[in-house]
Structure 1
Amino acid sequence: MKLLFIDAFVGFGSVGRIVQELYDTAENRGFDCCIAYGRGSAPEGYKTYKIGSKWNVIEAGLESRVLDNHGFASRNATKRLIDFIEAYNPDVINLHSIHGYYLNIQILFDYLSKTKRKVVWTLHDCWPISSHSGFVQLNDAGEIPQFESKYDSTQYPKNLWWHRHSKNYFKKEAVFTQLMAQNLTIVTPSKWLKDLIHISYLSKYECRVINNGIDLSLFAPTSKTVFKEKYGIPKSKKILLFIANYWEDRKGLKYVQQLAKEITDGYQIVVVGDLMKQKLPENIIHIKQTQNREELVELYGEADYFINPTLADNFPTVNIEAQACGLPVLTFDTGGSAEMITEETGVKITDKSTQGIINALQVAEKKHFSAEKCIENSKNFEKNAQYSKYIDLYEQM
């Protein structure tokens, strides 16, 4: 059986790593696999097809930022991709992040609807059902808005001038609902996103939840204790760990900044990730973005609590990684961010504020979460078990 993955990256970022690991799992199960990707480079040893060029990405980025035309550029690159699909002739196509300045969704879905190929579409955010941004906020009627505010244009994908949100919403609806129901199955990593799909224009398609998984052979308790010594942190201080690839507004950095002013001297805040030109108070230790998982494991092992103040997220695996290393999680109850914690492994913060974080810390200190319970819960999200669910779905399709 031939399987084609389509994503912006291979092996880079959370989604790119998922695609790479799905390829490995499927190949081990006897599939003939290939990844079509749009940006960066691919690791050696993988059968791949590069969609477009660096200029194609720049051109699509300009159209997106100036004309609010995200997902509708990259015309020639997408036509060449279709030629490749015809030549490769896959039995199943697994779409992942199809936005990211590299694809024309209208040309691709027109083709998919005519060929009647079997398609699995993994949604890693809300962009396919939004008028513009990667995450949506329901309106007062509990519906997905057909027009988002100009504030949403400052988030990815950024739009600097022309705003065509409502028009784009209906263009997406027309494009994404072309496929026959029996030819498309949607996968979401979280129940939260599945619930949104059920009230969206994609509701006619079958939607399954397959959680993102982690490598439990890597993310596990460690005996290393060099971090406090390296940064001169007294052994008596408790470490509050915050991690994000990029600290954009929706990741909640403002709450971390405020917390640093109000937290007692018994805690040390450590922030990991690209600050994107934002500033931190001097009493916060900042570690730049890292793709080194061993370093992350060491950080999890040194910390006392992992805190995730995200304002919008699908199913952040950092919350699972922390538990796998024996670390309790305190997270804002937004999106699917709290779906992987239990009453015995963390605190769901309903008051999305700095005071809400402080209150959650007080609750956590009284509960005395055990590392054993956290580790046991993380086993529900072992990556190979999750990827096997994809293999079963491919074979069913």
Structure 2
Amino acid sequence: MKIVQINSVCGQGSTGRIAVDIAIEVERRGHVCYIAYGHGNTDYQRSYKIGNRFEHLLHNILFSRLLGLQGYGSIVSTLKFVKWLKKIKPDIIHIHNLHANYINYRILFKYIISRKLPVIFTLHDCLNFTGKCTNFTANSCNKWKQECHKCPLYHKSGVPSIFFDWSRKMFRDKKMFYSRIERCKTIAVSKWLKEIAFESILNCNGHSVSYIYNWIDHRVFKPADKEEIERFYQKYDLPRDKRYLISVSQEWDMSATRTEDALAIAEKLPDDYYLILVGRMNRSFELPKNIIHIPYISSQMELAIAYSLADVYVHLSIQDTFGLVIGEAMACGTIPVTYNSTACSETPSSFGIVVPPRDINAIINSLSLIESKKARRLEMIEFVKNTYDKTINIGQYIETYTEIVQNEI
């Protein structure tokens, strides 16, 4: 088989690493895999970069920001990409993220439909079945079930439109293209997202919806030894007479509910606990003494040590489609406390503690249960190894490739 994956990045970020992981395993099993991407650079040999910095900037400013039509720019670069696809002659197209102002999905879908190519969508977020939102839960908007229109987030989303709300047009265009693709399978990254996608425009024309979990590198994310933890204590000058909660986010700022919740937790933490926040932070506000901020941990091995020294990983997001960091912490033997919202409560299974969204008192009360949860620590680590195994889960993708190419779905 010859597979072409399409994603905004290649080898960078979570989705970029997932694409490369799949490609390497596909090649190892005797197939051929290309990755087409929009941003950054990559060491992956069979890759194709769509567009350049100027085209991406034009797409962002003119089409996305001014016109409110993300995915409608990058016309020339997408035509060149389609020309390249015609040379490659793939057996299947595997689409990850099309947003990020690098590709014209109308041109792409017209090519796919004309060639009657089978398609796999991996849903890392919700944008493939909404007008323009990557996630709708924070705003409690369910218009995507019928038809997006008058989007409450058109000027607030990840790529806000300054003037126009074209959510209805974008929704209708997606719906029309999906209905014309003959062979299509949607794979969500969690059970929760699968159930959501099943109610969406992706579940049409006999297309199927299933889920395959993302995976964790168990060579990296595992309990750290005492010497590694001791070096981490010294590097970040951590008090040794405290117990630790840890939480990881790309960014902590006062406009985010997770930051508000972290500060509220700190107010009520017992004296023997500190909270470690990992990620970028707007330091225009003062942190309480029992919060330790680590701006950025680039090394996954060092992040695994950070998880390992903590008693609790507390996940403060209310809208995740998977929750990879929760699984990483569990693989290091750290007990997770998560909100009962979207897929956040799915990853911990029975090994963690699930509390109502933004219920700070419930988080504080859950600390009394940590020691009893630790009794199943080894069982939890084994569960994570089996459930989020790279070879097994990528193998499910390769089986899906074979099925869809043979038209057996």
TM-score normalized by structure 1?
A: 0.92
User: Does 1:210 pair with 2:212?
Assistant: yes
Shift of 1:173: 2.1
Q: Match for residue 166 of structure 1?
A: 168
Cα deviation per residue 1:94-135 (whole Å; 9 max; x = unaligned)? 111111110111111111111101111111100111122201
Which of 136, 155, 159 does residue 157 from structure 1 map onto? 159
Shift of 1:286: 1.5
**Conserved in 2, the CA contact under 8 Å of 1:133 and 1:153?**
no
**Conserved in 2, the CA contact under 8 Å of 1:123 and 1:188?**
yes
Question: Using the alignment, how far apart are the partners of 2:373 and 2:116 within structure 1?
Answer: 54
| Backbone CA RMSD of aligned residues | 2.2
Shift of 1:140: 7.5
Secondary structure class of the residue paired with 2:278? strand
Pick closer, same or farther for the CA change 1:174–1:141 going to 2, 3 Å.
Answer: closer
After TM superposition, the structure 1 stretch with the greater mean CA deviation from structure 2, 140-149 or 51-60, is: 140-149
The residue type equivalent to 1:271 in the other structure is L
**Conserved in 2, the CA contact under 8 Å of 1:9 and 1:39?**
yes
Cα deviation per residue 1:29-58 (whole Å; 9 max; x = unaligned)? 011121111000011x52111100001111
Shift of 1:197: 1.2
Shift of 1:153: 3.4
**Conserved in 2, the CA contact under 8 Å of 1:176 and 1:202?**
yes
The residue type equivalent to 1:191 in the other structure is K
Question: Using the alignment, how far apart are the partners of 2:67 and 2:283 within structure 1?
Answer: 26
**Conserved in 1, the CA contact under 8 Å of 2:150 and 2:165?**
no
Q: Match for residue 180 of structure 2?
A: 178
**Conserved in 2, the CA contact under 8 Å of 1:260 and 1:281?**
no
User: Does 1:330 pair with 2:330?
Assistant: no
Cα deviation per residue 1:293-325 (whole Å; 9 max; x = unaligned)? 111111111111111111111112111111111
User: Does 1:353 pair with 2:359?
Assistant: yes
Stretches of structure 1 that go unaligned for 5 or more consecutive residues are none
The residue type equivalent to 1:372 in the other structure is L
Shift of 1:243: 0.6
The residue type equivalent to 1:269 in the other structure is L
After TM superposition, the structure 1 stretch with the greater mean CA deviation from structure 2, 366-375 or 293-302, is: 366-375
The residue type equivalent to 1:73 in the other structure is G
For 1:141-290, what aligned pairs fall within 5 Å after superposition? 143=145, 146-147=148-149, 149-151=151-153, 153-180=155-182, 183-204=183-204, 205-223=207-225, 224-225=228-229, 226-247=231-252, 252-275=258-281, 279=285, 281-283=287-289, 284-290=291-297
The residue type equivalent to 1:238 in the other structure is R
Cα deviation per residue 1:234-263 (whole Å; 9 max; x = unaligned)? 323111111122347667222112222232
Cα deviation per residue 1:183-221 (whole Å; 9 max; x = unaligned)? 111111111111111111111221121100111111111
**Conserved in 2, the CA contact under 8 Å of 1:130 and 1:144?**
no
Pick closer, same or farther for the CA change 1:216–1:168 going to 2, 3 Å.
Answer: same
Question: Using the alignment, how far apart are the partners of 1:253 and 1:145 within structure 2?
Answer: 33
**Conserved in 2, the CA contact under 8 Å of 1:146 and 1:166?**
yes
Q: Match for residue 91 of structure 1?
A: 91
Question: Using the alignment, how far apart are the partners of 2:264 and 2:368 within structure 1?
Answer: 17
Question: Using the alignment, how far apart are the partners of 1:3 and 1:98 within structure 2?
Answer: 17
Cα deviation per residue 1:327-365 (whole Å; 9 max; x = unaligned)? 11111122212212122x211122433233223334435
Question: Using the alignment, how far apart are the partners of 1:332 and 1:149 within structure 2?
Answer: 26
Secondary structure class of the residue paired with 1:227? helix
Question: Using the alignment, how far apart are the partners of 2:161 and 2:280 within structure 1?
Answer: 21
After TM superposition, the structure 1 stretch with the greater mean CA deviation from structure 2, 69-78 or 171-180, is: 171-180
The residue type equivalent to 1:325 in the other structure is C
Q: Match for residue 319 of structure 1?
A: 326
Question: Using the alignment, how far apart are the partners of 2:20 and 2:116 within structure 1?
Answer: 26
Q: Match for residue 316 of structure 2?
A: 309
Secondary structure class of the residue paired with 2:48? strand
Q: Match for residue 48 of structure 1?
A: 47
Question: Using the alignment, how far apart are the partners of 2:170 and 2:322 within structure 1?
Answer: 26
Secondary structure class of the residue paired with 1:192? helix
Shift of 1:265: 2.1
Stretches of structure 2 that go unaligned for 5 or more consecutive residues are 405-409
Identity of aligned residues (%): 27
**Conserved in 2, the CA contact under 8 Å of 1:133 and 1:157?**
no
Q: Match for residue 118 of structure 1?
A: 118
**Conserved in 2, the CA contact under 8 Å of 1:67 and 1:162?**
yes
TM-score normalized by structure 2?
A: 0.90
Question: Using the alignment, how far apart are the partners of 2:147 and 2:348 within structure 1?
Answer: 29
**Conserved in 1, the CA contact under 8 Å of 2:311 and 2:335?**
yes
Shift of 1:375: 0.6
**Conserved in 2, the CA contact under 8 Å of 1:241 and 1:306?**
yes
Q: For this pair of structures, how many residues does the alignment match?
A: 393
Secondary structure class of the residue paired with 1:161? coil
Question: Using the alignment, how far apart are the partners of 1:178 and 1:280 within structure 2?
Answer: 54
Question: Using the alignment, how far apart are the partners of 1:270 and 1:376 within structure 2?
Answer: 26
Secondary structure class of the residue paired with 2:9? coil
